[in-house]
Amino acid sequence: MADLDQISEMLQKGKAKEVERLVGEALVEGLNVKEILEKGLIAGMGIIGEKFKNNQVYVPEVLIAARAMNKGMTILEPAMVKAGVEPLGTVVIGTVSGDLHDIGKNLVCMMFKGAGFKVVDLGTDVSPEKFAAAAKENRACLVGLSALLTTTMPAMKDCVDLLKTQGGVKVIIGGAPVTQAYADEIGANGYSPDAASAVELGKKLIGAA
């Protein structure tokens, strides 16, 4: 009998093959797809996110857990489509113009995926126009901007200004030099110091918390 706690546990340990096997077994046994996602994969990723926030695990552990999550998702996704399971929402994420740092941004993407969002990752050095076009095209509820350089922080304001003209979408910002005060100054909807909190904030902003 497939065990959802075991899926969560194996994911936290980064055992990708085990996660893949257990998700497959759960599907064969006819377990509810949404439950496998929420009580198995998302639950495991949520625990990793919380531990990361509290410095109980570090970047490598998160990356390994995310890889296990992805393995599980490749098995689960076709069944989710069949069952009509909707993502919580779509979030467009990228590192702003002139900035090539992507390790933190990638963690933010993983945490959002782990929480059940559809993620459109635009990569690095992303112009305000590209953010705006992707938000529109994907009907995103959230846009996440990352910046690691003090010199690229002003590009966040350009993005916020442009996205505001489109309306509807909420903008959250983060990255080592970024602060809540800066988010307030440029009119972003929120700031988050780490990847796990970014998801909590995003959920709150779209009323899914």
Contacts with 194 (C-beta within 8 Å, 6 or more apart), sequence order: 52, 53, 174
> What are 55's two structure tokens?
């410095």
- Closer of 34 and 130 to ligand B1M (Cβ): 130
> Among residue numbers 74 through 103, which ones bind ligand B1M (CB under 6 A)?
98-103
Q: Which of 31, 69, 107, 156 forms a contact with ligand B1M (CB under 6 A)?
A: 107
- Closer of 10 and 172 to ligand B1M (Cβ): 172
User: What does the H/E/C string look like for 52-85?
Assistant: HHCCCCCHHHHHHHHHHHHHHHHHHHHHHHHHCC
> What are 102's two structure tokens?
């992507």
Regarding 200 and contact with ligand B1M (CB under 6 A), the answer is no
- Closer of 26 and 122 to ligand B1M (Cβ): 122
DSSP state of 125: S
Regarding 150 and contact with ligand B1M (CB under 6 A), the answer is yes
Interface ranges with ligand B1M (CB under 6 A): 59, 98-105, 107-108, 144-146, 148-151, 172-177, 192, 194-195, 198
